[in-house]
Every structure is written in C-alpha cells, then in structure tokens.
Amino acid sequence: MCRIAGIIAQNSSSEQLKHQVTLMCNSMAHGGPDDFGVVVDDEKKVSLGNRRLSILDLSAAGHQPMFSDDEKIVIAYNGEIYNFKALKEQLIREGFHFKTSSDTEVIIKAYQFWGENSFKKLNGIFALCLHDKTKNCCYLVRDQSGVKPLYYSKNIDQFTFASEVKAFAHSGVTPLGNENWKIYYLAFGHIPEPFTTLKNVYSLPKGSFLKYQLSDGSFKIHPYFQFSTAIQIIDEGEAIIRIKEELNKAVKLQLISDASIGVLFSGGLDSSIITLLADTYAKGNLTSISANFNEIDFSESNYRQIISERVEAGHQEHLITYRDFVYNFDTVLKNMDQPTTDGINTWFVCKCAKENGLKSVLSGLGADELFGGYPSFDRIRKIQNLGRISKELIKSARFLQNTKLNRLYYLSFQSPVGEYLCLRGLYTPDIIAKLLDIDVQTVINCLQNIPLNDTIRYLNDEERASWFEINMYMQNQLLKDTDFMSMSHGVEVRVPFLDVNFVNLVTSIHPSIKFGVYQKKRLLIEAYKKELPEQIFNRSKMGFTFPFQEWMVKNKEISSPDLYQNKKAKKLITSFNNHKLHWSSAFALYKVFHAS
C-alpha cells in the first residue's frame, strides 16, 4: 500500500520532472512512510514516483517504482493484489522467473504475458501507473470496486496523476479551483466523481484504465470490468451456501500480509462477521480495534464483549472523548483530501490502529449497500411513487419546515440524481443559492448535469436503492473518506465485502431473496446464523457512529452563530444549536465558510 504520483511533460527537463514528482510524493508521505522512489525516462519525459507503506515483501526488493527484467516496463503502484500468489504460480508455469516476493512484480509479469487483459485478472484494491516503453504508452488503472483513488489532469503542457488531489498543488502547474465544488458539497455532503475541488482534475472511474499515447499526448479511458447484473441464483439455500463460500475466501485472502494486521470491530453485524472469520484464519495473529465513548448511548461495548469471548484475537478498546475531538479537530480537517461530512470516525479508529502497531485492518464496509441495511431500501418505493406526482406540487416541498421533507423537492428533477439527493442530500438548491449568494438556476443546472451510468435506468425498488448506495454514497463518500483518513495514519483498510468475486455473486442473487422485508440483511444473517450470537443479529442497526451531534454543538468554534456572516448560514446554525439540524449539515456549513 502506497501513494503514487507522476508527470508526463515533453517540454520539461528531467531534473524539473524529478523535483516536481518528489514534491508531490512528499506531500503524501503520511500514506507511504517506509520508502520513497522516483524515476525519470529522459527520452520520453515520463516521471513516476512512489511513497511506500511496506506490507508485502518488507525488504528493499519491494522498492518502487519497479522495473521489469528488461527495463522496458516500469510501474508505480498503490494497493494489494490478494490473488498474487495464484497468479505468480501460473506465470511460473509459463516460464517467468521472479526476483522478489512482492505483488508488484507479479503485476509487471502479468502485464507482459496477458497485456491489457491482465488488469481484470487482479483481485485486490489497487491504483497504478504502468509505463510501457515498447508500446510507447502509459496506463493508469483502478480496481474494480474503486477502493483506491486515482486522479489525473491534462493540460497543454503536461499530464499529471496522483493518489490525492492535494498533491496537484505541487505539480508545477498552478491548479484552478472548481467553481462548482461548494454546490456539490452542500448538496451531497461530498464531491461526486469524476469531479474534485480542482478544475480539470478528475477521478479515474473504477474498473477502468486510461491509456495515454506518448506519441501525441492523446488518451482514452476504457472500462475493463463491470459487475454482472444477470440473475443466476433464485434458490435461497444455494445463495446462503455461496455467500459463505465466497466471503470466507475473501477474508482468508485479505489476511495476507508480511506486516501486522487487525480488524475494525464496532460490535455491529458486519464487523462481527468479519472478526469471527478473520479470527478463524489468522490463528491468533489478529488484533481487533474498537472505539468507546463516555456517552453511553453510543457505546457498543456490551455487544463487542459477546464476540470477544468467542475469538482468540487480542482486543484493543480506545476511549475517545470530547476533549480528543477538540484537540485533533484541526488535524482531521487538514487530513481531508476532499471535503466530506463523513470520515472523522475512521480517522480516530485508524489512529488507534496505528498506535497499536497495525499497518492493515479489515473493515465491514459494503455489507449494508449489498444486502439492504440502510433506511433508503425502505424509502425507495415511496420515492419512486412520489416521483409520479405533479412536478409543481413536488417543487412546493422546498417551503416545508422539516429539512428532510425539503429534500422531496429534488424529485422535481425527474432524474436519478434527484432521487439520490432526495434519499441522502443535505440542502436544497434554493438554500444552497442563498448560502453561496448565487442564482438558484445555476445550482439546479450544476446538479442536473452530473453524469451517471445508464445502468440505473433498468433497476427498480431495492436493486435501485442498492445501486445508489454502492455507486454514489459508498463510492463517492465512504470509500474515498476511508482511504484518505486511514492513510493519513499510514494504515491500510481492506474490505472483504467488496471482494470482486463476492460482489459478483451477490449481484447475481434474485432480489426477492437478497433483501429482507422484515429483517435488514436477512440473507447475510441466515448465512452466519450458527456462528453469530443472537444478540448481534437481533438488535436495531446503530452504525459506526460517534457522538458528533453533542460534540459539535458543544464546540463553539463550529456552533456559534456569530462565526457565520451569511444570514442563511447563521439561521441554520441556530437551528443546529436547537437540535433541529443534523450535525453533518452543520459541519458542511463550517467547512464551506471556515475551513475551505
């Protein structure tokens, strides 16, 4: 696991390229504290850099950027390839020889043998740049589930890429701000892909590769993988057996590491399943990390205790207080690569993991999105029905006093973006316009022009909700936030529920048995009912939640109306202090007006 960066610029000197890429990599040193490397192709003016977090092959042999044996290929790579040993054995049978025990070398030789088809053979979390000197091209490649980020920018003089948006400030080209980012942020609570806070800096889509032609500076993005949408499993018994098979395989694969490894353990259903499975395969070499609070309503320690008594894993429970929140607040903001209303909880728990000597942790992220764990799965039918009401009547929802009901306005968009914002949005266009002192039609046009995959058009009910949660909420917020918050501590988060084979399996299960009507994530519960104590699956969903509502009201640096000159912002913060506005909406205001 690492951070990568690179520049292609025909008009720059090799020394200049090396200097700029070094600066970019150093700005991301937190994500790769163990090693650093940068190489420059003097002829093609291609410079690749890497900050390394050593997890597989801890020796100097794993140094990056790494060259092929004939030095015709060079790679800068961020991630883990969980099936690299199986691929390595296959390549050895084909006559390849290996100098290291790293997965990086396997990627190089897989590309040499299979070419572009090698990308879809990789099972893992990854973002990489591969320079093929023979073909005179460079590839940027991102994993199938979009767990690892990769950003790129192209102007007349150079092509630039990096693992973090902040690194572009050190690329030698002064980046311009994206004038729409505050609109996106106040509507979504994050910046939706492919956009970023910088103009002309974009996120590479998941399951895609960008091929850059060095001869003329042109590039094209190609999808190399898409999850299956064909329904293949209609029998519940078969579904349960296959779920156990594939998730067990995924957890076993993702425990591969030459460094210390652990699991993020909240005490909820998903993290309990991952903890139980990881403990089975880790054979005592596992540490579970949990957060606890003085605020008793947020403590899940009783549920964690039930699981802890059943496993051999060592358990580390960390008390996180309001004082910790205030003391670390500025650092948390600084570590946000992109504005978000989420991820603060991940920052704290990964800080705990780092303090316990862990470099990798497994997470239960993804189960809610795949199996219907969120309230959106209940609301989706109502929203679809409301969408058939008169557009003018729906627009009147903007005048309602309840902020959640205000979001019904978004159904007047009559588009998937409007549906999603009705499900999970923060502020409506008229409020955003008042906050930013711009025309409301500018806000509406901006939000309606967000590109979406056409797949959503063919989905209904729970499948539609799952698409929203996976491709918008999880992709744009949870995964992105998890990456930069964890890597700010030099900790890698692995997500077994998003294993490519497991996701392919779950998407092939008929929705009538996949989504529980009376019990959330019923099919997942049925799969692990024998292993799980009843107290874990017969409880209401809590989520990985911190006492932010109370803490942010208490912190006057956020909640004092006097800090906000904008009249609408002042009024909203007053509502927040009166407990009539969710903390995430208040935090978005703080970020826009005081921490942008």
pLDDT tens-digit map of 231-254: 889 999 999 999 999 999 999 999
pLDDT band at 372 (very low <50, low <70, confident <90, very high): very high
Same-domain check for residues 14 and 142:
yes
Residue 551 lies in a domain: yes
Does pLDDT of 595 surpass 90? no
* Domain endpoint, select from 223, 252, 270: 223
287-292 and 314-319 beta bridge pairing? parallel
Same-domain check for residues 209 and 246:
no
Same-domain check for residues 248 and 126:
no
What gap in Å lies between CA 159 and CA 46, rounded to an integer? 9
Same-domain check for residues 69 and 87:
yes
Q: Which pLDDT does position 539 carry in this prediction?
A: 59
Distances (CA, A) of 457 to 10, 245, 410, 468: 43, 32, 17, 12
Q: Which pLDDT does position 173 carry in this prediction?
A: 87
Least reliable range by pLDDT among 299-303, 382-386, 406-410: 299-303
pLDDT band at 258 (very low <50, low <70, confident <90, very high): confident
Residue 452 lies in a domain: no
CATH number, residue 21 = 3.60.20.10
User: Is 322 buried (19+), middle (13-18) or exposed (0-12) by CB count in 10 A?
Assistant: middle
Portion of the chain with pLDDT greater than 70, in percent? 96
Residue 231 lies in a domain: no
Does pLDDT of 484 surpass 80? yes
Same-domain check for residues 530 and 560:
no
- Tell me the whole-structure pTM to 2 decimals: 0.95
Given the structure tokens 């060095």, which residue do they identify? 214
Residue 496 lies in a domain: yes
* Contact between residue 169 and residue 151 where contact means Cβ atoms under 8 Å apart: no
Portion of the chain with pLDDT greater than 90, in percent? 74
* Contact between residue 263 and residue 495 where contact means Cβ atoms under 8 Å apart: no
* Domain endpoint, select from 223, 255, 273: 223
* Contact between residue 142 and residue 250 where contact means Cβ atoms under 8 Å apart: no
Residue 579 lies in a domain: yes
pLDDT band at 540 (very low <50, low <70, confident <90, very high): low
Same-domain check for residues 40 and 64:
yes
Same-domain check for residues 581 and 480:
no
CATH number, residue 260 = 3.40.50.620
pLDDT band at 285 (very low <50, low <70, confident <90, very high): confident
Does pLDDT of 105 surpass 90? yes
Q: Which pLDDT does position 395 carry in this prediction?
A: 77
What gap in Å lies between CA 487 and CA 343, rounded to an integer? 12
Does pLDDT of 1 surpass 70? no
Three-state SS at 165: helix
Same-domain check for residues 146 and 295:
no
Residue 376 lies in a domain: no
DSSP 8-state symbol, 210? E
Q: Which pLDDT does position 35 carry in this prediction?
A: 83
Same-domain check for residues 106 and 241:
no
* Domain endpoint, select from 223, 253, 279: 223
What gap in Å lies between CA 571 and CA 566, rounded to an integer? 9
Same-domain check for residues 187 and 247:
no
Does pLDDT of 405 surpass 90? no
Same-domain check for residues 212 and 83:
yes
Residue 369 half-sphere exposure toward CB, CA atoms < 13 A:
20
Structural domain range at position 575? 547-596
Q: Which pLDDT does position 524 carry in this prediction?
A: 94
**Average pLDDT over the chain, rounded to whole?**
91
Model confidence over 157-210: pLDDT tens digits?
899 999 999 999 999 888 899 999 999 999 999 999 999 999 999 999 999 999
Residue 454 lies in a domain: no
Cis peptide upstream of residue 65 (ω within 30 degrees of 0): yes
Q: Which pLDDT does position 57 carry in this prediction?
A: 64
Domains in the chain, number: 3
Spatial strand order of the sheet with 2-8 comes to 35-41, 46-52, 2-8, 159-162, 151-154, 201-203
CA angle 503, 509, 515 (to 5 degrees): 95
Same-domain check for residues 100 and 188:
yes
pLDDT band at 297 (very low <50, low <70, confident <90, very high): low
Residue 29 lies in a domain: yes
